[in-house]
Amino acid sequence: MYASEHGQTRNDEINIITKGGNYGWPLYEGNDTAPGFIKPLRAYTEFTLAPSGIAYYENALYVAGLRGSQLRKLNLSADGKTILGEEALLTDLGRIRDVVEHEGYLYISTCNRDGRGTPQSGDDKIIRIKLD
């Protein structure tokens, strides 16, 4: 199981969830090395992504970004414990509120009319994308 964690200013995280695991919030975030704290699979220390949703499909995680205004694709190893590559997708939609996967499709919702985004014609919307 994977989860996204929205940091206080940066240090957004993608975590692999384990029973009884301590991921640090709210005392530690990002790549902190406090005792008993499970290091995230990915910590966004270089920019703020503001993850707001996460979907898994065939060894890839798709992470919705509000402040980052993009969908991030994290390509995973076969065991799902290592990121082999990462890319920014859909960088022209503005704030992405959520992403879910269903039967080989991603469903993505935008969030540009909440006073924080820059509304585009036809916002807000749900976009359906066929995967492979």
Q: Tell whether omega for the bond before 124 is within 30 degrees of 0, i.e. cis.
A: yes
Q: Is the pTM of this model over 0.85?
A: yes
- Whether the per-residue pLDDT at 81 is higher than 90: the answer is yes
Residue where the block lists tokens 């390509």 = 75
Q: Is the peptide bond before 35 cis (omega within 30 degrees of 0)?
A: no
CATH topology (fold) of 2-130:
Neuraminidase (2.120.10)
* 111-131 pLDDT tens trace: 988 888 788 788 899 999 999
Percent of residues, the chain, with pLDDT higher than 90: 72
% of the chain exceeding 70 in pLDDT: 100
Over residues 63-84, the mean pLDDT reads: 96
User: What pLDDT, in 10s, does the model give residues 102-113?
Assistant: 999 999 999 988
pLDDT of res. 12: 94
CA 16, CA 18: separation in Å to the nearest integer?
7
Which strand ranges, in their side-by-side order, compose the sheet holding 70-76? 51-56, 60-65, 70-76, 83-89
